[in-house]
Structure 1
């Protein structure tokens, strides 16, 4: 263990003697204590798998359709390697600053200014609330695919939002870790239904007699920069989960064990992401859709859509938990009785924060007519910082006396590329959607599910 890690561990152990830890020593009130910093590395692994083994995996075949087999595979592997490296840098930075409890605290530690905390919070909230809104829409779409669009889509969107709001009133990661097992397990099954289903069905959904399945090595001729960049960003957004990692590390009892969780989850991600893109694109070709179950035939597609529902619901809850805790921790400092005991005031504030977050998310998902492009814009603006640029600054702080500063520069340039290129492409996509008349009506009842 390095001197930095040892010093951080000793500082963290000292902090644990205050606040909630002292309260836990009172056996008469032990049952009413809400425990923080008690996450194990195995539970952190489950949280990472909950975060990464999600519906977005099924967008890889459509990215491969645009980038080609070689282009999609190389992009998946290179972005994955860089994600692993920057996540490791992020962990080392959290070890150096054990006071970090979320991405906002990390921004404050990097700059020493309160405005950086607020900017990071705006990014975290906008990103997470938009993702929560996406899960409202995705849940309604999955149900409409299963049921054939027999009810108003908005009805199912409301139902999804209410279910996720109710279960978002959980307040700790420890319980969320075990609930997340259901999310990652059902998504794992869904992915393999999609993969195997494309291999055993005779032709993909949308195919007609005489069609030839077209597979290209690189991006097909005529692919525009906007199309190619959007496909690349789909892969980037699936890999980037850095905004949640400081929250997990900050709640670990032994944060030095986080690399174990990171390595295990990354192995699963490399396999699932690449195999899904390669196999589905191999069999569906130009008929590849996002999500990938759209190119399956009716019976298989409905089964796959059904298995996405637990993941959609639980991952939405996880993003709500991270955002709500960031707000809650600013209202009540560590050691506060409202964080360590079941008080009326503490629970009242928590329920209000959670409810407000889901109202905002529902409105974002249903009211904004260019929601998918808005999500891409938010991800470009903020994920480029959360995934790359912030950790280039952290890299220079951690490794300032080493000769490998070029790695920090590479991380910064990558983030700048996705920030500038991604934002341009997302805005241009909104403009194109308006010109093509593809902008949806707010709060629509139109069937958004796949038809067969």
Structure 2
């Protein structure tokens, strides 16, 4: 349930916009190939955690790989920036969903504060046991939202924004004139949705039977392959060039507002999950293994925990509201950190796990070569993705599309019908 909570999220509704840039075939192939690589590298990560049971989070994994304390800090900075940015995104997404439902003209910033306060309050949970139960609500409501979005596009006569005489156009591959920056950002959106490795060591480390993790991984991945691919393909088929991110923006009012409402539980609960993982990484460094503040209800332990959680949400809110090119920044963070957390680190983990394997079978040789490809893929996303993200920021500034920090305008979708 934690894996489904992590993966069945609002970002699924951004797949149609990626298909719009990559084309139907390009979008499907990208989704399947990136998903397959995610499944494999997640399995390698689990194998590494089984060999190193002292690993409790992604930072410990980086330390175990290198034996260097700086690696722990580098991984922590990546984890914190990645998670705080995602938490900030959820603040904005929650406010946008509320404004879409209400159709009002109130200041979006007010709703952003309200959503942030709600997520902060419930982030004071300290273990994953309760989150697993709450995660059922998040994944279920997001699944319902996705089905509503898909069904709504099939039921409506035309997508939101359509005008009389407009043909709905779809392409097999990327449309003519698509730039490398546009294509790379669409690809990074798919990578961002698939890559969830940063939370996996925390899940495995908390399991009573960590050897059972591959079962949960297989079930959740099978579900995600179907949901991600079908959502992108079907919505893009019906909405064509009117595809939006999130996908409920291309629905007409009667369907779009309902779908937006179902995103709210997921937005809140997934924001709490990312806060929990980040806060635990900090908390475990303040109180070492065996400390009574970890396992008992001490005043010092709870005061420290509440302070960490509060500081994390303040930072997230500032990131989400103060940085004017937030969407491009998220692509930048995805290229900078998902390339490492999703690919590069686990290629090195594989090399360490099997470095003493003197007699390699044919399968072992193929797997070794595949991990070299994984390493090259991560390096490509790191270099090319970072370039594309920075160039997209520059293009947005040049086009005057950058919003002012802490703006008070209505960011909800406007429905034409």
Under TM normalisation by the shorter chain, which class is it?
over 0.9
- 1:83 matched residue in structure 2: 38
Q: Tell me how far 1:366 sits from its aligned partner.
A: 0.3
- 1:249 matched residue in structure 2: 204
Q: What SS does the corresponding residue of 2:351 show, helix, strand or coil? A: helix
- 1:436 matched residue in structure 2: 399
Task: Select which of 385, 390, 415 maps to 1:427.
Answer: 390
- 1:47 matched residue in structure 2: 2
Q: How far apart, in 2, do the equivalents of 1:345 and 1:287 lie?
A: 53
Find out whether 1:385 has 2:340 as its counterpart.
yes
Q: What SS does the corresponding residue of 1:244 show, helix, strand or coil? A: helix
Q: How far apart, in 1, do the equivalents of 2:23 and 2:334 lie?
A: 23
Task: Select which of 204, 213, 229 maps to 2:184.
Answer: 229
What is the CA deviation profile of residues 276-305 of structure 1, one whole-angstrom value per residue up to 9, with x for unaligned ones? Answer: 001000100000000000000011000000
What is the CA deviation profile of residues 79-133 of structure 1, one whole-angstrom value per residue up to 9, with x for unaligned ones? Answer: 0000000000000000000000000000000000000000000000000000000
Q: What SS does the corresponding residue of 1:300 show, helix, strand or coil? A: helix
* CA RMSD after TM alignment: 0.6
- 1:346 matched residue in structure 2: 301
Q: In 2, are the aligned partners of 1:180 and 1:314 still within 8 Å (CA)?
A: yes
Matches within 5 A, 1:361-372: 361-372=316-327
Q: How far apart, in 1, do the equivalents of 2:43 and 2:140 lie?
A: 25
**TM-score when scaled to structure 2?**
0.97
Find out whether 1:447 has 2:410 as its counterpart.
yes
- 2:63 matched residue in structure 1: 108
Q: What SS does the corresponding residue of 1:232 show, helix, strand or coil? A: helix
Find out whether 1:329 has 2:292 as its counterpart.
no
Q: In 2, are the aligned partners of 1:149 and 1:448 still within 8 Å (CA)?
A: no
Unmatched 5+ residue regions in structure 1? Answer: 1-45
Q: In 2, are the aligned partners of 1:52 and 1:241 still within 8 Å (CA)?
A: yes
Q: Tell me how far 1:374 sits from its aligned partner.
A: 1.0
Q: How far apart, in 1, do the equivalents of 2:391 and 2:350 lie?
A: 33
Q: What SS does the corresponding residue of 2:19 show, helix, strand or coil? A: helix
Q: Tell me how far 1:248 sits from its aligned partner.
A: 0.3
Q: How far apart, in 2, do the equivalents of 1:216 and 1:149 lie?
A: 36
Aligned residues: 407
Task: Select which of 244, 259, 262 maps to 1:289.
Answer: 244
Q: Tell me how far 1:149 sits from its aligned partner.
A: 3.1
**TM-score when scaled to structure 1?**
0.89
Find out whether 1:56 has 2:19 as its counterpart.
no
Q: How far apart, in 1, do the equivalents of 2:175 and 2:278 lie?
A: 40
Q: In 2, are the aligned partners of 1:195 and 1:276 still within 8 Å (CA)?
A: yes
Unmatched 5+ residue regions in structure 2? Answer: none
Find out whether 1:413 has 2:368 as its counterpart.
no
Q: How far apart, in 2, do the equivalents of 1:301 and 1:307 lie?
A: 10
Structure 1 residue runs of 4+, over 4 Å off?
none
What is the CA deviation profile of residues 139-167 of structure 1, one whole-angstrom value per residue up to 9, with x for unaligned ones? Answer: 00000000113311000000000000000
